[in-house]
Amino acid sequence: MRIDLRAYSRLLAELVRRGGVDEAQAKTLEENLTWCDMVGRRNHGIERLPILLERVAAGGIACPCDPGFVRVGLNSCKLDAANGFGHHAGRVAMDRACELAARSGVGVVTVHNTNFFGAGGYYAYLAAERGMIGLALSNSFPKVAAAGGIAPVLGTNPLALAAPRRGGRPVLIDMSTAAVAGSTIREAIDRDVDLAEGIAIDAAGRPITDPRKALAGTLLPAAGAKGYGLAILVELLAGVLSGAGVAGQVSSMYKHVAAGGNNGHFFLALDVRHWMAMHEWYDRVEALAAALLGSGPPGSVRLPGDRCWAEYERSLAEGILIEDHTFAHIERLADSLGISIDQRQPA
């Protein structure tokens, strides 16, 4: 069903606050989950709230928290996120990266002592809406094999980039460096569909297509050695450079509910205006877009992010889509928190 945006916002706000999230983190968490649901990244939207609140209750996520910056250069900082929500740390860090970039052209912020941050595309988008190029990276619990390996050693290690475009809908690249994201496995379980071969393997290196077995197996890197290299890039910048956990030092948000994630994040903002006037940037991006879109039959080629922005517009017009299995989880969460279900009205 689709839920009216105002009803969705009221429900989400009450769930978050009844779930024990402090006011500062509640605001950034709600904005993040709402954006994800509006652009169709539902595996990072309200669907994640039950496990996030379970971690709050168990002490795995600190509420409240007191993140602190340390300046490491003229245009760079590192952030100790005080084991709060990764969503909050990500917003605070990208805001600071953009502030630095506005002054010098480039802003870089690393984050340690933090947790899972959701969809990296959200933070890259925050930079793009300021007329900047944004890059967001995060490492995660080991679930992915090295190219040629069998045992899990790297996380799904997402990377996201957004670039401003005339009209306010940026080019948006947001991808896991694994063959699929872990959330896609859980979605396949909810939908009761098999995985394709080449996504997951068992302890002997044999292909797994049953998504339930894949949770206990190992994911493969995207595109073999290429995805492996990108995953290492993320691990180096988000994990090693930031001072966060690396590989097996990062905890699982589902298996280690009471423990801090020890994830690391890396945020980069480039202010285009330090290179050229914005109208020139927009003209050049549109020339690139025209070449890409015109390279196949009409409608066959899209720019990264186009599907997200189409869903965003539909969410504004028709309400936010919540799938049946997610709605059932949220119903149980609401009931456990004593929230009346009559707030959840279809659009």
Identify the pLDDT of residue 86: 98
Give the mean model confidence (pLDDT) for residues 223-229.
97
Q: Is residue 318 part of a domain?
A: no
Determine the structural domain holding residue 161 and report its residue range.
65-177+226-304
Query: pLDDT-derived band of residue 347, with 50, 70 and 90 as boundaries?
Result: very low
24, containing H or E segment: helix 23-38
Check whether residue 119 and residue 167 sit in a common domain.
yes
Check whether residue 266 and residue 167 sit in a common domain.
yes
Q: Is the pLDDT reported for residue 212 higher than 70?
A: yes
Q: Is residue 310 part of a domain?
A: no
CATH number for the domain that contains residue 30: 1.10.1530.10
Q: What are phi and psi of 63, to 5 degrees?
A: -140, 115
Identify the pLDDT of residue 200: 96
Check whether residue 118 and residue 168 sit in a common domain.
yes
Q: Is the pLDDT reported for residue 343 higher than 80?
A: no
Give the mean model confidence (pLDDT) for residues 10-33.
97
Average pLDDT score over the chain: 95
**Integer angstrom CA distances of residue 322 from 88, 165, 258, 275:** 23, 29, 28, 42
Give the mean model confidence (pLDDT) for residues 186-201.
89
Check whether residue 24 and residue 5 sit in a common domain.
yes
CATH number for the domain that contains residue 157: 3.30.1370.60
pLDDT in tens, 73-94: 999 999 999 999 999 999 999 9
**Single pTM value for the model:** 0.95
Identify the pLDDT of residue 59: 97
Check whether residue 154 and residue 82 sit in a common domain.
yes
pLDDT in tens, 135-153: 999 999 999 999 999 999 9
CATH number for the domain that contains residue 198: 3.30.60.50
Neighbour count for residue 193 (Cβ, 10 Å): 10
Identify the pLDDT of residue 342: 61
* Strand-by-strand arrangement of the 68-73 sheet: 68-73, 76-80, 106-114, 263-271, 132-138, 159-163, 171-175
Number of domains in the chain: 3
Check whether residue 53 and residue 186 sit in a common domain.
no
Q: Is residue 314 part of a domain?
A: no
Check whether residue 46 and residue 195 sit in a common domain.
no
Check whether residue 284 and residue 247 sit in a common domain.
yes
Query: pLDDT-derived band of residue 236, with 50, 70 and 90 as boundaries?
Result: very high
Q: How far is CA 153 from its chain centroid?
A: 20
Region of poorest pLDDT, from 178-182, 298-302, 312-316, 341-345 = 341-345
Check whether residue 149 and residue 268 sit in a common domain.
yes
Q: Is residue 246 part of a domain?
A: yes
Report the C-alpha gap between 142 and 231 in whole angstroms. Answer: 11
Estimate the crossing angle of helix 5-18 against helix 23-38, to 10 degrees: 140
Report the C-alpha gap between 135 and 190 in whole angstroms. Answer: 31
Report the C-alpha gap between 231 and 226 in whole angstroms. Answer: 9
